[in-house]
Structure 1
Amino acid sequence: MSNDEHGTNQDPQIQEVPSTTPDLQTDLARQLQELVPDAISDGKVDVAKLTELLAADVADSSERFGLFWPGKKRALRAAQEPTTATLRPVKDQSKDWDTTKNVFIEGDNLEVLKILQKHYHGKIKMIYVDPPYNTGKDFVYPDNYKEGLETYLEWTKQVNEDGKKVSTNSESEGRYHSNWLNMMYPRLKLARNLLTQDGVIFISIDDNEIDNLVKICNEVFGEGNHVASFIWKSKSGGANDSGEVAVDHEYIVCFSRSKTDNALGLDPDAVATTSYNNEDERGKYALERLDKQNLQYSSSMDYDLVGPDGQVYKLSHRDPARPNAIWRWSKDKVQNNMDQLVFKDGNVYTKNYQKPGGKPRSLFVDDRFGRTRTGSTEVRELLGGSYFDNPKPTKLLKTLVAVGSTPDSIVLDFFAGSGSTAHSVMAVNAKDGGTRRFIAVQLPEPTDDDDAKRAGFNTIADISRKRIDAAGEQVKAELAAQTVDVGFRAFTLVDTNFSKWRVSSDVDADKLQQHLLELRDSAEDYATADSLLTELLLKQGYSLTEESVEQDIAGLTVHAVGGGLLLAYLDEHTKPILDQLRAVVDKEPARLVILEDAFHGDDELKTNLAQLCKSKGVELWTA
């Protein structure tokens, strides 16, 4: 990829596809410039001025409350550091490539989460993760994971032959909790960006890190967005535990992206505990006060409400015992739903109609949630062996999917493990007719189990892919006429398909000259058209399940995406002539992407193409 270090471009009509994911630090500064231009001086954030403008809202740095640990600042930078990584399609490991909307990604989730930011920002309704528990055993993610893609490529033998487990986290190391927090913190920061405004994240954890996990989630998501910490009875007994207490529970910590009354839906299998002792033509309902305490104050939710009898209801004058209450509904919503309000005994209530199921309870102790051994049995029945330690049962995850997602939403699991979340998404879709889509991400961690290796599962990612495939067939076999998407597109994390700068400022002259020669070609020789197209689409903000077709236009093989909204010419070895390019532009796509090296250094051809695109209102991008 042509990489201009100074950000200039010879022709302002031609735009370059960026070589990395967005620089989150720069994006944040850009947002600050729009919000508080006084805080930007000479292109940099003036922290002192920003502090002055915020005045009383600034915390006293000498007495700050929060969770601090060695490496926290570096971990934050790891989340903000752009990556050159991309995803390579692996069609021979995929299922129903042309029709599926599901995705499986093999790779380090820190890098993958960065790649997902462009398209999936604010689009994920539910995230579930079961991260490595801090038990003193390997948790695989390398100690120097902060170095990003190069560490991952080396670890997975994509650079050399020394792939291995590189991280242990024994208590004797001295940074037992810090290492785990440094692994989790940047991933949670990036995950939050992907959630919808009413999105939720569920995180499984045990006693070792429950306190620290809640504290970093308070920081990342906001203390007011802590929905619940569910307690799941994971064992039927703990008689063999070595401690003084037999521990037979784990936790599932739940946070929402923003404070809302409907972050979670109803548990379809729960028994409703509310008394629905009123009824109208719509059915039975309970009364719930329109005012509510402990919500984040908003002036738009503090207004006078006039009842049908002309009585005025004022928040500040109604009940001294509820001085901080505000209305749950906006003024417009009240005016449009007066028939859903009940004015009684000087108070205002909303009608809460009875629905199937009930609110999720904080204790997951019934058999309907399954146990750890239930998850092991499921994997054994699907794959012929367990092959994976302590997989979460689908009984548990189907409940989380049902209450945490909507029928048409996207569910993300970036610690996919054995693939239980993907299995559960397909199963819930089969039950309620939904079209939920899953994105599963798993590090290719080598398997320790000899039985797994003999069965052909060299990595946990191999187990996950096979389990999702087998689970899909099981779900499909249990259906009658109904169809469910049980396929997935498989991708693997790799370095960019385009040449880029990889040298430091102190490199010697001979090496620099060689690198400049290597940069003559924009695309790597081994890159396939599918790989190039996937990377370009990701960087242009398209989804991983975007439909594309090859078209022959005037003798050129062109990839058409989104019904022709984007056309891409990706053959750097065949130089097109102007008449061929004119035929492509005449299709009037919204955007045309062409490899820089397809021009073979012909600046006149490039300039003429830019003029053709300008005349037709087509955005021209080079890569």
Structure 2
Amino acid sequence: MSEEVHETPSATPNFQTELAAQLAELMPEVIADGKVDVEKFKELLDGDATDSSERFGLFWPGKKRALRAAQEPTTATLRPDVDNSKDWDTTKNVFIEGDNLEVLKILQKHYHAKIKMIYIDPPYNTGNDFVYPDNYKEGLDTYLEWTRQLNEEGKNLSTNADTEGRYHSNWLNMMYPRLKLARNLLTPEGVIAISIDDNEAPRLRQLCDEVFGEANFVAQVVTQANKGGRDYLPLAQTHEYVLIYARRYSDAGIYELPKIDNSLRFQDGLGRYECRELRNRNPRFNRANRPNLFYPFYVDPNNVDSNGYASVSLELDDRHTLEVYPHNSQGNDSCWRWGTTKAGQNIVQGDPDASQIVAKAVRTGGWNVYEKNRRSTQKAKTIWDETEVRTEAGTREVRQLFGKSMFDHPKPVDLIKKIIALATRPDADDIVLDFFAGSGSTGHAVLAANADDSGNRRWIQVQLPEPTTEASEARRSGLETLSAVARARLSLACYKLDSELASQTIDTGFRAFLLADTSFSKWKVSSDVDRTELEQHLFDLRVSSSSDDALADDLLTEILLKQGYSLTEKIAPVVVAGLNLRTVGEGVVHAYLDEHVKPTLEQLRAVVDEDPARLIVLEDAFQGDDQLKTNLAQLCKSKGIEVWTA
């Protein structure tokens, strides 16, 4: 019967085991007695392996433990928080309150290779920033421990002073496992962008080189965060950075940005355009090494339009009589950017609108040849100094929503919108993840981007319930945690868009979830439990495997997550033969989760007759009746239905 009844996994994937399985598939000879033979592995790699005693890399105290923290599975779950949600039944957006290390593990099952863009604004490690602690034994304990604000020794965990001796190491230990897990979530075309300042920028660059691969570095953008500068420093610092890496550089979806500088100054019957010189201005290219790109155009100097441009031809005729070769500013032979074939395709005699090559006289004498460039987009540059990307813009946006200043130094919506435009498409259902959500700027930016272009982008935000300070406006307004501030901001932004976009259908809702311990007692035991505790745990399982206070929707959410379903599945109650069930999707999954009411075989037969693709039954619902369970398995097998227990 074990082959006919599937058991829901108790924890998130074990990445060490999965990696070993992938190695076994790729190189079976490196597996001996179920373990990886490291020496054999090095032998196969031979010249591609580095000398471990002498190699370049980023090393710090605690790095191995930080890696284990990323690989350690978790039994934690997410519980629906419907009261703090908006448009629960229809939205595809998600807000999660909890420690992002645990949440990233939970997201692995469904969202692996499904996130198109990640943007994070992690703690900058200035000495006063909160740095997430990790005890590397059980991640959920870390989260619960931190919410009490004290560690096991009673030491405050809210700062990372540089006097502690492991100032940079503490920050790296926090970032490393989170970035390792984040990489798994990116699509092959996916991109991650990270805001950072000078405190940790050098180490973050090295860390990302290791996690994402040096070859997948895209850019380090300089942003003007503060025009006036921080004048308490020897030089008034005005900048921060956005570090951008691709999941796979060769496949990266990096898009051009709309032109906003009015550069399309001219217009004809085909639309607006700018004139771009056709001569190749790169001094490395010239007639000597690009002879096929050195040829003459012939200009009609007697017929010039209102903008001073004349038609050209590749052949001398009675109108086009003036010969023009490519020469640089010193008068030496240069070359064109296009060959004669492409040039000929872009010249249409007698139709000035269709002809995409023109010439114009220059003040120094002679003529230049130009391409009509109609592109309305351009590559993003690596310095962003627009007013809209400065921190003051983010502060103003939050103040306008709340009517008061609720958060210090929020990232501007337009800064994140610019990154969103770089890495996502409006019609692709791209998912944007931010696991250091702060005040919710990224979710707000996705909403704003969708409003601008009627996009279908979705967002997932994760934020620790970091307490707001006693004297803050947020605390005085009843918002005791930063996650509460973010939820309130997102709600206000959603309702504001609802009022502004009465006729536009974009997703202005979100489902809220809370990180929580598992609702299944059988899954709570850890691998290092002592024998006495394990025996007691096994005895307790004879009574019940699920928590008595767990709601059906809590149980179903946990089961679906661990089976690989998304956080936005459409779930509805349904009654079949007197049994209260939940359906997932369009009846694709039926779930019976009432441990107190044992179903009869006839009732289960009626459920099977509904013909779902998968049937989930709480183990406790069988109340120890193995025959009933076996009969259900046979019914489902005859109909081709997967049956799962939890």
TM-score range, shorter chain: 0.7 to 0.9
User: 5 Å matches for 1:169-184?
Assistant: 169-184=160-175
Return closer, same or farther for 1:212/1:424 CA change in 2, 3 Å cut-off: same
1:135 CA drift (Å): 0.3
Match of 2:304 in 1: none
Match of 2:505 in 1: 483
Q: Secondary structure at the match of 1:458?
A: coil
Deviations 1:12-49 (Å, cap 9, x if unpaired)?
21111000001011111111111111111111111111
1:477 CA drift (Å): 2.3
1:90 CA drift (Å): 0.4
Instruction: Supply the AA of the counterpart residue of 1:439.
Output: I
Match of 1:403 in 2: 422
User: Is residue 410 of structure 2 the alignment partner of residue 391 of structure 1?
Assistant: yes
Match of 1:494 in 2: 516
Q: Secondary structure at the match of 1:63?
A: coil
Return closer, same or farther for 1:164/1:392 CA change in 2, 3 Å cut-off: farther
Match of 1:302 in 2: none
Aligned partners of 2:459 and 2:232: how far apart in 1? 38
Match of 1:103 in 2: 94
Return closer, same or farther for 1:431/1:569 CA change in 2, 3 Å cut-off: same
Instruction: Supply the AA of the counterpart residue of 2:454.
Output: G
Return closer, same or farther for 1:488/1:553 CA change in 2, 3 Å cut-off: same
1:396 CA drift (Å): 1.0
Match of 1:618 in 2: 641
Q: Percent identical across equivalent pairs?
A: 59
Structure 2 length-normalised TM? 0.81
Q: Which of 209, 212, 237 does residue 228 from structure 2 map onto?
A: 237
Match of 1:448 in 2: 469
User: 5 Å matches for 1:423-462?
Assistant: 423-450=444-471, 451-462=473-484
Aligned partners of 1:593 and 1:217: how far apart in 2? 41
1:146 CA drift (Å): 5.8
Aligned partners of 1:554 and 1:376: how far apart in 2? 56
Aligned partners of 2:150 and 2:534: how far apart in 1? 21
Instruction: Supply the AA of the counterpart residue of 1:184.
Output: M
User: Is residue 491 of structure 2 the alignment partner of residue 469 of structure 1?
Assistant: yes
Aligned partners of 2:577 and 2:598: how far apart in 1? 13
1:585 CA drift (Å): 1.2
Match of 1:259 in 2: 249
Match of 1:356 in 2: 376
Aligned partners of 2:112 and 2:529: how far apart in 1? 37
Aligned partners of 2:67 and 2:264: how far apart in 1? 44
User: Is residue 163 of structure 2 the alignment partner of residue 141 of structure 1?
Assistant: no
1:144 CA drift (Å): 2.6
Aligned partners of 1:237 and 1:380: how far apart in 2? 21
Aligned partners of 1:46 and 1:273: how far apart in 2? 61
Aligned partners of 1:251 and 1:244: how far apart in 2? 19
Asked if the contact 1:270/1:359 (under 8 Å) is kept, the reply is: no
Q: Which runs of 5+ in 1 are unaligned?
A: 1-9, 289-340
User: Is residue 375 of structure 2 the alignment partner of residue 367 of structure 1?
Assistant: no
Q: Which of 103, 116, 127 does residue 125 from structure 1 map onto?
A: 116
Instruction: Supply the AA of the counterpart residue of 2:413.
Output: T
Q: Secondary structure at the match of 1:588?
A: coil
Aligned partners of 2:490 and 2:386: how far apart in 1? 26
Q: Secondary structure at the match of 2:53?
A: helix
Match of 1:309 in 2: none
Deviations 1:60-97 (Å, cap 9, x if unpaired)?
21221111111111111111110001100000000000
Q: Secondary structure at the match of 1:126?
A: strand
Q: How many residues align?
A: 557
Asked if the contact 1:546/1:561 (under 8 Å) is kept, the reply is: yes
Asked if the contact 1:127/1:200 (under 8 Å) is kept, the reply is: yes
Asked if the contact 1:274/1:286 (under 8 Å) is kept, the reply is: no
My pick for the range that moved more, 472-481 or 445-454, is 472-481
User: Is residue 586 of structure 2 the alignment partner of residue 563 of structure 1?
Assistant: yes
Q: Secondary structure at the match of 1:608?
A: helix
Deviations 1:374-424 (Å, cap 9, x if unpaired)?
111111111122221110111211111111211121100000000111011
Aligned partners of 2:394 and 2:205: how far apart in 1? 26
1:56 CA drift (Å): 1.3
Asked if the contact 1:101/1:437 (under 8 Å) is kept, the reply is: yes
Aligned partners of 1:579 and 1:462: how far apart in 2? 47
Return closer, same or farther for 1:275/1:64 CA change in 2, 3 Å cut-off: farther
Match of 1:3 in 2: none
Return closer, same or farther for 1:285/1:442 CA change in 2, 3 Å cut-off: farther
Return closer, same or farther for 1:59/1:272 CA change in 2, 3 Å cut-off: farther
Match of 1:93 in 2: 84
1:283 CA drift (Å): 9.7
Return closer, same or farther for 1:254/1:544 CA change in 2, 3 Å cut-off: same
Aligned partners of 1:570 and 1:31: how far apart in 2? 35
User: Is residue 561 of structure 2 the alignment partner of residue 538 of structure 1?
Assistant: yes
Match of 2:312 in 1: none
Deviations 1:476-514 (Å, cap 9, x if unpaired)?
2222421221110000000111112526667363x4443
1:355 CA drift (Å): 3.4
Deviations 1:231-268 (Å, cap 9, x if unpaired)?
110012125x3221111110000001001375321212
Asked if the contact 2:254/2:422 (under 8 Å) is kept, the reply is: yes
Match of 1:326 in 2: none
Higher Rg: 2
Q: Secondary structure at the match of 2:378?
A: coil
CA RMSD of aligned residues (A): 3.1
Aligned partners of 1:474 and 1:184: how far apart in 2? 34
Aligned partners of 2:219 and 2:509: how far apart in 1? 33
Aligned partners of 1:138 and 1:492: how far apart in 2? 24
Q: Which of 180, 195, 205 does residue 214 from structure 1 map onto?
A: 205
Return closer, same or farther for 1:454/1:505 CA change in 2, 3 Å cut-off: closer
Aligned partners of 1:561 and 1:513: how far apart in 2? 36
Match of 1:318 in 2: none
User: Is residue 53 of structure 2 the alignment partner of residue 62 of structure 1?
Assistant: yes
